[in-house]
């Protein structure tokens, strides 16, 4: 059959200046958020609790009406369409399957667009795609949490939505299962060319699942880019710290390097004058030394293939990740030395509102 997609002319989804304020609240839950999503792309909205990611997703799904702004899916303005007319599938945190229906029936239920006599075969294909073909005649309560999660997902995909929305989809799974499920889901989305907007507060989940990550805080979309880019070139200190441990250094830049409390450090981009740098803990070397300006190891955490160290130097704390040969002890004195470039954080921009 002809499921071949034409190359996209423009973005699949286009969100423009979306804002939302709930009654009886001081601030906007979502503040002038704009982004595009391209066909087949997985985009993660990442941020702490209350940053506005769920509200954004609910406006995409049609469960909330934006105060201002617009949402286009393909060429349609869907800003004020009811949810069922949007061709968008959503998987919620509590992916309730119908308990009295088998897995196959749960999936066929979503396939109203397909001729009735073809639904069961098609449902089996979907279940096989997530390794559950053999369990098609079981009931949801006879499955593990991870298996149920996969059924909920293929049930959504079986309706052939143009876009799939996921709200913290793996939060009910334990750590090991969560990691495996993420990998499987990403593989499934790529195999089926599914376009996805995923909401999470977990940076590891955003990094492993998404093609691009949008970092949100207090309703603002602070930065949008591929995982490597938001990690290596964070737009500000919040993004740098939300995507993992980092050392923020006040520095005096001159071209490709800067004077910092840790000595001269190479920069990822030329800069001049007073700047803030982000130096990841894995880019900091610890050299045993008893100089007067050495740092002291105040904490050490064994993490398998490396150690995570916390160091104190004067008033300042630093963190470093070092491969685990010859571990340092708490109380050891070391010199801190950047062995990779630090990222220059752009000067804080004026707030828009």
Which helix (H) or strand (E) segment is 33 a member of? strand 30-37
Q: Which is nearer to ligand ATP, 50 or 69 (CB)?
A: 50
Contact set with ligand ATP (CB under 6 A): 22, 25, 29, 47, 49-55, 201
Minimum CB–partner distance for residue 238 and ligand ATP (Å):
14
**Comparing C-alpha atoms, which of 293, 302, 341 is closest to residue 322?**
302
**Comparing C-alpha atoms, which of 31, 66, 6, 44 is closest to residue 225?**
44
- For 81, the 3-state DSSP assignment is coil
- In the chain, the N- to C-terminal Cα span, in Å, equals 51
H-state helical runs in the chain: 53-61, 103-108, 119-129, 145-158, 175-192, 203-209, 227-232, 237-242
Using Cβ positions, the residue closest to ligand ATP within the complex turns out to be 54
Instruction: Tell me the torsion sign for CA atoms 258, 260, 262, 263.
Output: positive
Sheet architecture: strand order including 333-338: 284-288, 333-338, 295-302, 306-313, 316-323
Minimum CB–partner distance for residue 49 and ligand ATP (Å):
3
Q: Which is nearer to ligand ATP, 24 or 303 (CB)?
A: 24
Minimum CB–partner distance for residue 27 and ligand ATP (Å):
7
Minimum CB–partner distance for residue 29 and ligand ATP (Å):
3
Q: Which is nearer to ligand ATP, 41 or 220 (CB)?
A: 220
Report CA-CA distances (Å) from 310 to 203, 295, 304.
Answer: 21, 10, 17
CA angle 277, 282, 287 (to 5 degrees): 95
Q: Which is nearer to ligand ATP, 126 or 242 (CB)?
A: 242
Q: Which is nearer to ligand ATP, 5 or 49 (CB)?
A: 49
Sheet architecture: strand order including 76-77: 30-37, 13-20, 68-73, 76-77
Q: Which is nearer to ligand ATP, 30 or 249 (CB)?
A: 30
Q: Which is nearer to ligand ATP, 40 or 50 (CB)?
A: 50
User: In degrees rounded to 5, what are phi and psi of residue 329?
Assistant: -105, 155
């Amino acid at each position: 059959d002809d499921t071949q997609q034409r190359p996209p002319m423009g973005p699949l989804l286009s969100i423009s200046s979306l804002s939302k304020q709930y009654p009886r609240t001081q601030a906007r839950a979502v503040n002038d958020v704009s982004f595009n999503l391209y066909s087949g792309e997985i985009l993660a909205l990442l941020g702490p609790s209350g940053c506005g990611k769920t509200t954004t997703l609910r406006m995409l799904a049609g469960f909330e009406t934006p105060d201002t702004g617009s949402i286009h899916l393909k060429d349609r303005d869907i800003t004020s369409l009811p949810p069922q007319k949007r061709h968008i599938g959503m998987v919620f945190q509590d992916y309730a399957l119908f308990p009295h229906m088998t897995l196959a029936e749960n999936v066929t239920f979503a396939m109203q667009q397909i001729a009735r006599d073809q639904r069961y075969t098609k449902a089996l294909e979907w279940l096989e795609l997530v390794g559950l073909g053999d369990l098609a005649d079981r009931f949801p309560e006879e499955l593990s949490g991870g298996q149920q999660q996969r059924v909920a997902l293929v049930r959504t995909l079986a309706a052939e939505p143009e876009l799939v929305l996921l709200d913290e989809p793996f939060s009910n799974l334990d750590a090991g299962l969560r990691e495996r499920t993420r990998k499987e889901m990403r593989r499934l989305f790529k195999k089926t060319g599914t376009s996805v907007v995923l909401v999470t507060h977990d940076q590891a989940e955003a990094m492993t699942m998404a093609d691009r990550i949008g970092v949100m805080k207090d309703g603002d979309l602070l930065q949008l880019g591929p995982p490597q880019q938001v990690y290596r070139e964070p737009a500000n200190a919040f993004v740098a710290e939300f995507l993992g441990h980092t050392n923020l250094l006040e520095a005096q830049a001159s071209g490709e390097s800067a004077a910092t409390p840790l000595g001269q450090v190479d920069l990822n981009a030329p800069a001049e004058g007073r700047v803030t740098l982000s130096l990841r803990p894995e880019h900091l070397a610890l050299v045993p030394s008893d100089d007067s300006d050495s740092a002291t190891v105040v904490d050490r955490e064994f993490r398998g293939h490396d150690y995570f160290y916390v160091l104190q130097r004067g008033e300042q704390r630093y963190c470093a990740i070092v491969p685990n040969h010859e571990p340092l002890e708490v109380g050891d004195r070391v010199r801190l030395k950047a062995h990779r470039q630090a990222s220059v954080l752009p000067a804080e921009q004026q707030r828009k509102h």
